Structure 1
Amino acid sequence: MIIMFEVLSQLESWHWLSLGILLLLGEVLGAGGFLLGIGIGALCVALMMTILPGLSWQAQLMWFGILSIVSTLVYWKRFRAINQATDQPLLNNRAARLVGRKVELLEAVVNGKGKVQIEDALWTVLSDEDIDSGKAVEIVGVDGMSLKVRPL
């Protein structure tokens, strides 16, 4: 136990710098943001140790914990949404990508339901009015995996 305290009392800024770089390299390998805040916390403590070289090991560990938590929270609150932004938000929502498309009814809309074929898939369509088979409709919305249509 005494050896551990001796090792901790000899912590220098390059130790924190090495830890921070190691954690950020781990983040590059795909930790999904988990190691980012901890790595930034270690780098901040390295900077503090450069400015205040006499900082006790207890204060170093305290600041490491605080700065790691704060930088992780900032990442999750501010920057995570930016990282998940996409120029194709409907990429995995096949039904929503069909909105605005004009197609012919394969089966008439009766009592609010009918069918269309788009490429290799049959889709259930919903409409407030009955529409005959073969008529052109426009897809105006999505309800789950059903398409809302209006006659043209």
Structure 2
Amino acid sequence: MTLLAEIGIWIWFIVAGLLLLGELLLPGAQLIWLGVAALATGLVVPLFEIGWQGQVAVYVVLAFVMLLLGRRLFPRVPKASDRPFLNRRTEALIGRAFVLREPIAGGVGQVRVDDTVWRVVGEDCPAGARVIVTGVDGATLKVRPEGAAA
């Protein structure tokens, strides 16, 4: 900590500059608040002639306050996706109607969705019947006959 004593208050401006530069290089909007706290510490220290231990304490308190203030002023809002089912393909099939490729016999059958054959479970129906997907269980679609009560 003798470096802090030798450099004086300039250390806070150097730290502020490095943190603000880091914010430009690393996304996240966290380093900016730490940089602002270091800048504020550099401005407050000469007013009260605080020793290095006090300077570090002032910085820690200001950093905490600035981080809380930053999160309060700029809350993270998740972006709405133009493809909400990108990694949840099966959920996108719920509510859609398909023609059975193989009959549902014993509660199990197959349906073709685009270029993929899916296993389906539901009440027995003949091949060629239209079914509506009502749910998903892993890679198995739960279906009901089209026109049947939901």
In which range does the TM-score fall when normalised by the shorter chain?
Answer: 0.7 to 0.9
Of 116, 137, 141, 2:135 maps to: 141
Task: Give me the TM-score of the superposition, normalised by structure 2.
Answer: 0.73
- Partner Cα separation in structure 2 for residue 52 and residue 65 of structure 1: 13
SS at 1:96's partner residue?
helix
Indicate the percent of aligned positions where both proteins have the same amino acid. Answer: 30
C-alpha contact (below 8 Å) 1:42/1:64 kept by paired residues: no
Q: In 2 relative to 1, CA 37–11 (structure 1 residues): closer, same or farther, beyond 3 Å?
A: same
1:115 aligns with 2:110: yes
Aligned 1:2-151 pairs, distance under 5 A: 2=2, 4-7=3-6, 9-11=8-10, 14-28=13-27, 33=28, 36-51=29-44, 53-54=46-47, 56=50, 57-68=52-63, 71=67, 75=71, 79-80=75-76, 82-83=77-78, 85-127=80-122, 129-151=123-145
5+ unaligned residues in a row in structure 2: which ranges? none
SS at 1:40's partner residue?
helix
Q: How many residues align?
A: 140
Query: 1:19 Cα deviation (Å)?
Result: 2.5
SS at 1:132's partner residue?
coil
Task: Give me the TM-score of the superposition, normalised by structure 1.
Answer: 0.72
Q: In 2 relative to 1, CA 37–65 (structure 1 residues): closer, same or farther, beyond 3 Å?
A: farther
C-alpha contact (below 8 Å) 1:114/1:124 kept by paired residues: yes
Query: 1:98 Cα deviation (Å)?
Result: 1.2
Letter in 2 for 1:113: V
Letter in 1 for 2:17: S
